[in-house]
Structure formats: structure tokens, C-alpha cells
A and B are shown apart, each in its own frame.
Chain A
């Protein structure tokens, strides 16, 4: 740092749209993730409501069977990969560096690249709606249903290529957060002093690192089968459809824990804050998180009980699955004991957190029921399964995300969300949720299969389906109320206090809302778990700094991540249509000869070379500038 002045560089600083396209600031990338994730969440929600409207009465013909297949496929795929994953990354970006007392993430440039590859992958997937038909083989895309023989449009190609590009972004994000949490913690922030949300983000990132490469390979194999005539899943040529199921679920089961662990982290932040108590059993929470992640990798075949792996495999996977109830139960009791004797405030964030606990327990109980392999032969592919996974993903994860958004909104945007509207959001969404999915348990037990486009009357399905659809509409109202809240809040002046909930425990509440681009003027010294609360209890208004005031080094903004991702997008489209027969000779030249694909790859690699050859020196914010901001 002594040489800092000698090496200051002038830096291009963009404004407006270019600022957002080039930003490497984790807080802005968090907002980009939130906007993009929110958009895809909305699309997935509209698909959900269309599914429910189709099923509102027997023998309905609102949509055709083909469109229905596309709707269920895209609803699942969009929600998992493009809806909730990015909102998780939005909160991780907005909060984790602040919670560990860091000025930035380990790889700001890669962070931006992760966002743009996710966005272009998601756009590619959703382009399928207007380019010849969406994927229609279910979000699990089982072979042989997803091979060209049974799915002849380009739908599944959009699925394989779109998810490939988006998955690359997720993998990059995971590596970035692992490295950030390992190397960028403030002095005194030992691993066992890290806030729970940081812990769960850390474990989730590790799971992403080890789970996503499996689906990368799976998607490559499927696209090679479809586009290059390979035989991985073609039984006639010696391939194996069960191989796809294994690869998909070796990724797919860890994926659901990748989703839920950050929600556990959010709940573990919100409940202590609004109970004015430290988290009960912090270290057991940490070890339960690690144990869930570990077990999460060895239960994938419980999705395949009816595939015919045999009783020994089924028994082992059933027991491993039931074991997960133990660490999860530890967490549930820890949250209850945190609230026990606390001064509970029922803010919107806390309503979602408290609502999460019983809802998630219900999803967990049906999970243990499904883990019993013999019983699963009855439940398999019925609405009972649909009810189960919506209880854990919506009742668990989405409640958690709403809780986290209400909780950290003032930190991200400097404005408090409107509390009455937030409470309306909670009650409409929670009641709508239970109306939609509680009855689906019974529909499943009565024998209604999932993924069917219609059903005959007088099988005791009619009323329950009607109730379910009304509930889905109510959930839609809840989401609209949240959007209204966002709009109302955006019109209010910015500038809430550093610690707007007044009971903030962790480091993000010790700095302005929203934080300056360098986060911490001086990196704080961490003296215990709940570092900020500890200082407040010691009578201090702010954290003790661990360093003198000095110039702060910042990374330069860059358009290259956007360009790299655009190149991948073009290459993906080129590869997808390489086998298409065009009537136009120009089109067939550029696609069938792989010219579009090569152009896309050249764009990406040229941007990578530019990144490697031209050093990014960054720039410095000088001490005088920092002092000036302090007074202003």
C-alpha cells in the first residue's frame, strides 16, 4: 500500500446503462441478480397460474396437451435455475461480503461474468417460446422422452444449451463465494464467528462446485445425442436411459440442498434479530449445515426407487435419506429455542421466518414418508410428490427469500419496505400457498398423477383441484402486493439509518445503507460472534477499526464479461441449429457449417484473451476523498 500513490491510475467510470453493463461491484451485481431473477420468477409464476387454470375443472381445454407439457417443463426449469437461484445469489452478493467485513469479493470480474452467463443462458432458454416451441420433456428431461425421437422440436436443445450456459454462471459464482469467504474475512472473523447466512452461503457454494459439473456432463451427453447423433441414451445402440437419471439426480439432489441451505441461513439471521437473542446452538447449526450438505450427496437414488435398482440399493438410499431429518430437526429446534423467551417483533421479515418453520416441517415430514421406498411406490409421480417439493421449495425457500428481501431491503436500497403491505404480502402468500398445496397431498393419495393435462370428473379430484387453483391465484396476488410494495418504496427518499431494525447483530448493520462502493472505510476488528451486537453491548456506537485510514484499491469496471457471455449465447444458438434444415441457403450456410457457432466462440475467446493480455490495474479512492465523504 505504501506505493499506492505512485500507481494510481485514472479509470473510466461509466454512468447509466453502461454502468450496469460493466459493473464489478458486488452490491450492484446483487441488484442485477435480483432484477433478472425476479423477472424469471414472474415468468415461472405466470406459467404456474396457467397450469392451475388448466386444471381448475375436469376435462378443461384452456391449453393443448403439448402446451401443457411445455408449461410444466418451463415452470420447473425456470423456477429452479432462473428464478430462485439468482435471488439466492442476489442476497449472497448483497450481504456476504458485508457480513465478513470485506471491501469486495475475491474475483469481482468473475462475479460479473457469472451474472451475465446466467442471464444469457436464461434468455436463451426462454427464447424457445418464440423460436419453435419450449422444452416439453419435464424439468428432469428424462430420456428417451427427451431424445429427438420423442421430442422433435428444438425445445430440449434450448434446455440443454440454455442450462449449460446458465450453469456455467452458477459454477463461477460458487467458486467466487468460496474463495471470498476463505480469504477475505476481516481480522478476528474466524470461521466459528461467521454469521449463519455466510456459513450457509459457504456450504452452498461448495455444493455448487461439486454438483454442477455433473449436470454439465449430463447436458453435454444429451445435446451430443440430439445434435451429433451420439448413443449415450439410445438403447438400440447400447446406450442407457438410466444413466441420465443417475447423472441428473447426482446433480439434482444436491441442488435442492443448494437451494434450501441459504434459506436456513436467512432464517437464522432474521429470527435472532427479531427475538433480540443470540442464535440458539450456533455451533450445532454450523455442523448440521455441513452434515446436510454431506448427506445430500449420497441420497440421489431416492428419486429412482421405482426405476428398479433393487431392494439393497433402495434400502440404503432410504436410510441415508431419513438420516437427513436429524440435522434438519436440530435446526428446527434451534430456531424454536431462539424464539423461546425472546422479545419477538412480528415484522414482515420475521412473519415469513416464523411462517417458514411449521411449513418447512410439513415438507420435511412428507419427505420422510417419501423416503420409505415401499411407500414411495404408491406416492411416486402423484400429486403427493408435487405437494412435498412445493412445501420445501416454496414453503421453505421462497418464504426464506421473502424474509431475507424484507430484512435486507433497507441495506440494499437505503429504503424500508412498507410494513403493512409486507404483512399483507405474507398473509395472502402464506394462505394462498397452503390452499394450493395442502390439498394436493390428498389429490396424490387419491391417485391423481402429476404432469397430466386433464382428468375425468367424479373421481373426487374436482373440488380439491378447484381449491388448489384459487390458492395459486391468491399466491399471485401476494407476489403482486410485493411488487406494489417495491414500487411504493422506490418512490420514498433514500437514506435510512445504518441499523434500521435497531437490533442488527452482524457487520452489515454497522455501515451506511446502502453502503459506499468500498463498503468499509476501515476494515473492522471482529471481537466475537455477532460482532456488531457485541460492540453495541459494550457501549460502542460503531466497530473498532483494524487499520488506519488509507487509500482503497478498487477493481475497474469492464464490459468483457458481457461480451464473453454474448459470445456463448451466439455459439449456443449456432450449435443448436446446426442440424436444422433451412429453406434459405444463406441460413443453412451459416448454421450448418457451424459458422455462427464459431463466430460466437471467437467472440468469447477474444474477450478472454483481451482480459488476459491487458492488465487491470484498478484505481484508488484516496484518503482525502474518504474523509470528505465522511463529513458530507
Chain B
């Protein structure tokens, strides 16, 4: 339980994140947390679906959305999920350098996604007069997509902090579970985005 000081020297098992009770608890607790998060986003999606046609004479979804930009954002986020898988695979091979590298790529892609989203929101507010107060549709759009964006921003800061810890502490029984659950988190917000892309953007364009 307290073997926190071992570094990558062959002593780490294949899945160092589950080698200690604390690690296993952390992974299980995080699965549970994601269950709660699923309800949170489910409620936000339900709200959005209930209100998405109520544009209150403001812009409608079909007028507003630009699929090329959103598709680019989707591509970036999906690739970042892949790179976080590479990071975990590197961790399981105890390859600290590759682990750090793939996490950095993940963070950079996350920042790219955030940049596109901020640009999109800025365009809506500045040029389309579409803000939080415009309509019930706008309120539910900004709340759902904004909640997801805030999750991405939190993930970027979190994973950056973990990269810094990996530089300082290396891969240990303490850092491995942290990296693992951050990857779980990253996949989760990726899955949420897939739903946002389908329900908010695609459905907005066609229906």
C-alpha cells in the first residue's frame, strides 16, 4: 500500500494503476463518478431536446451551425482520445517518455478543440446576436455545449498538471492511477461530444 517510492525499474506490474488498493479504489470511484456525470449530461441533453425549437425569433439551429468547423472539432477530439489510449499503452509498457509525449499531444489537441469552440461561441455572440439571453434554445445550447467545454478545459488543466508530476515523480504506484483515471475522463468527455455532435449539430442542421 505504501510502496510509493518505486520508480520504473521493472518492479512495476503490467497495470500499475491497479497494483495498490488506493489505485483500485480510485479507478472504481472514478467509474462511479462517471455514472453520475452521465446523468448530469443526460439531464442537460433532455433539457436541450425539450427546448431546441424555441428560438424566440432569434437564430435557429439550421441558420447558425457550420458543420465544417464542428466536424473539425470532432475530428480533433476523437484523435485526442486515440492519443490518450496510446499514452495508457505506453504506461502499461512502462515507457515514461512515450507516456509523457502522448499526453502532451492529447493536451495540445484538447486546446485546439477549445480554441475552435471559443471561436464558434465568439462568432455567435458577436456576429449572429445569439447569446445566453436570446431564447430558450440559446440558453440550453450554451449550457449543454458550455458544460462540455468546461469539462474539456478542466481536463486540459488536469492532464497538464499530471504531465508536470510525471516529469518530477516519474511513473509510480501513485502517479499511474491518476494518469489512468484522467484518460477515463478524457474518453468520457469525448463520448459526450459524439452525442453533442449528433444531437445538437447534425439534428440541428436537418431537423
Contacts and interface: CB of A to CB of B under 8 A. Distances in A.
B202 to A, nearest CB: 22
B105 interface: no
B136 A229 contact: no
B89 interface: no
Contacts of A1: 1-2
A107 B161 contact: no
B33 interface: yes
Contact of A613 (B33, B36, B165): B165
Contact of B43 (A110, A218, A612, A615): A218
Contacts, number: 129
Contacts of B162: 612
A489 B139 CA distance: 55
B70 interface: no
A171 interface: yes
A604 B139 CA distance: 27
Contacts of B3: 3, 7
A214 B174 contact: no
A220 interface: yes
A618 interface: yes
Interface string B90-113: 000000000000000000000000
B52 to A, nearest CB: 10
Contacts of A220: 143
Given A231-B56, A232-B140, A617-B4, A240 B36 contact: no
B161 A247 contact: no
Contacts of B51: 232, 238-240, 243
A426 to B, nearest CB: 38
Q: Which of B24, B36, B138, B161 has the most CB of A within 10 A?
A: B36
Contacts of A445: none
A510 to B, nearest CB: 23
A210 interface: yes
Contacts of B169: 615
A632 interface: no
Given A183-B25, A230-B132, A243-B50, A237 B36 contact: no
Interface residues of A, number: 48
Contacts of A615: 4, 169, 174
B132 A240 contact: no
B43 A171 contact: no
A507 B1 CA distance: 24
Interface in A213-252: 213-214, 216-218, 220-221, 224-225, 228-232, 234, 237-240, 243, 247, 250
Interface string B177-201: 0100000000000000000000000
B5 A239 contact: no
Given A179-B32, A237-B54, A618-B2, A613 B137 contact: no
A7 B4 contact: yes
A221 to B, nearest CB: 7
A252 to B, nearest CB: 13
A178 interface: yes
A613 B174 CA distance: 11
A609 interface: yes
Contacts of A221: 47, 139, 143
A214 B39 contact: yes
A3 B3 CA distance: 7
A175 B33 contact: yes
Interface string A198-210: 0000000000011
A612 B36 contact: no
Contacts of A213: 36-37, 39-40, 43
Contact of A183 (B21, B35, B161): B21
A434 interface: no
Given A220-B143, A613-B161, A209 B32 contact: yes
Interface string B117-136: 00000000000000011111
Contacts of A612: 161-162, 165, 178
Nearest to B24: A183
Interface in A161-179: 171, 175-176, 178-179
B67 interface: no
A438 interface: no
Contacts of A620: 2
A231 B39 contact: no
B47 A107 contact: no
B115 interface: no
Nearest to A609: B161
B55 interface: yes
A151 B110 CA distance: 41
A218 B21 CA distance: 36
Interface string B21-43: 10011001100110111011001
A237 B143 contact: no
A212 interface: yes
B78 interface: no
Contacts of B143: 220-221, 224, 230, 232
A234 B55 CA distance: 12
Interface in B61-97: none
Contacts of B133: 228-231
Contacts of B40: 213-214, 216-217
A183 B33 CA distance: 16
B7 to A, nearest CB: 14
B113 to A, nearest CB: 21
B39 A224 contact: no
Contacts of B137: 238
Contacts of A231: 54, 56, 133-136, 138-139
B114 interface: no
28 contacts: A4-B2, A107-B29, A178-B32, A179-B25, A179-B32, A209-B32, A211-B39, A212-B36, A214-B40, A216-B40, A217-B43, A217-B44, A221-B143, A224-B139, A231-B134, A238-B51, A238-B54, A238-B135, A240-B51, A240-B136, A243-B50, A247-B43, A612-B178, A615-B4, A615-B169, A617-B2, A617-B4, A620-B2
Interface of A: 1, 3-4, 7, 106-107, 110, 171, 175-176, 178-179, 182-183, 209-214, 216-218, 220-221, 224-225, 228-232, 234, 237-240, 243, 247, 250, 553, 609, 612-613, 615, 617-618, 620
Considering the complex of A and B, which 7 residue pairs feature the smallest CB-CB distances, nearest first? A238-B54, A238-B136, A230-B139, A213-B40, A213-B39, A217-B43, A229-B133
Interface of B: 1-5, 21, 24-25, 28-29, 32-33, 35-37, 39-40, 43-44, 47, 50-51, 54-56, 132-140, 142-143, 161-162, 164-165, 169, 174, 178
Given A106-B25, A238-B135, A612-B165, 18 more contacts: A107-B25, A107-B29, A175-B29, A178-B29, A209-B32, A209-B35, A213-B39, A217-B43, A229-B133, A230-B133, A231-B133, A232-B47, A237-B135, A237-B136, A240-B50, A247-B43, A553-B2, A613-B161
